[in-house]
């Protein structure tokens, strides 16, 4: 190489090194930005979950009040106040039990329970047994041949 090409290669190497450093710094900053955004979204999600949970509790506690108010309105029709409260209470109990049973059945039906992992482990154990049996016989034959 002549002397004129050396400064150009040195400059090119310096530029590539500088570019690599800038790319690395840019990636580092992008990662930090992503982490900050995810942390902010996580905090916002937690706040939302707390508000939704409080709203759900208020909604669920209002159901008995609504049932009592409706029973009071319907008290003059047939069953009386206590009868209507009993009907509304039984309806809520039936809906709760039905929903729970349906949710349990769906959970049980969709639950994988590490089935694929256990199957993979069984296959690995079978392969290891076959492999050790093949290598065990091979080493036994080697000892027989040398003796």
- As a three-state string, the secondary structure of the chain is CCCCHHHHHHHHHHHHHHHHHHHHHHHHHHHHHHHHHHHHHHHHHHHHHHHHHHHHHHHHHHHHHHHHHHHHHHHHCCCHHHHHHHHHHHHHHHHHHHHHHHHHHHHHHHCCCCHHHHHHHHHHHHHHHHHHHHHHHHHHHHHHHHC
**Together in a domain, 57 and 124:** no
Same domain, 45 and 96: yes
Domain count within the chain: 2
Residues 95 and 45 in one domain: yes
- Indicate whether 19 and 61 sit together in one domain: yes
My answer on whether 94 and 146 are in the same domain is no
Domain containing residue 17: 5-111
Residues 88, 131 share a domain: no
Are 106 and 44 members of one domain? yes
* pLDDT value at residue 138: 56
Residues 24 and 83 in one domain: yes
The pLDDT, as a whole number, for residue 147 is 43
Structure confidence at residue 140 (pLDDT)? 53
Residues 37, 87 within the same domain:
yes
Q: What is the pLDDT of residue 3?
A: 60
Q: Are 99 and 145 in the same domain?
A: no
Q: Kindly state whether residues 81 and 105 are assigned to the same domain.
A: yes
Same domain, 106 and 130: no
**pLDDT by 10s per residue, the chain, length 147:** 566 667 778 888 888 888 788 888 888 888 888 888 988 889 988 999 999 999 999 988 888 888 888 888 888 887 888 888 888 888 888 988 999 999 988 888 877 677 778 888 888 888 888 888 887 765 555 555 544
Question: What pLDDT, on the 0 to 100 scale, is given for residue 63?
Answer: 84
């Amino acid at each position: 190489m002549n002397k004129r090409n050396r400064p150009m290669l040195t400059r090119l190497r310096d530029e590539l090194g500088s570019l690599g450093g800038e790319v690395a710094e840019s990636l580092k900053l992008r990662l930090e930005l992503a982490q900050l955004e995810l942390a902010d979204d996580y905090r916002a999600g937690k706040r939302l979950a707390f508000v939704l949970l409080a709203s759900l509790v208020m909604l669920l506690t209002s159901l008995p009040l609504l049932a009592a108010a409706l029973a009071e309105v319907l008290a003059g029709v047939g069953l009386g106040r206590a009868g209507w409260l009993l009907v509304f209470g039984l309806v809520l109990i039936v809906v709760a039990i039905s929903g729970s049973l349906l949710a349990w059945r769906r959970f049980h039906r969709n639950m994988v329970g590490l089935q694929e992992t256990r199957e993979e482990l069984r296959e690995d154990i079978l392969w290891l047994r076959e492999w050790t049996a093949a290598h065990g016989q091979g080493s036994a034959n080697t000892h027989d041949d040398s003796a």
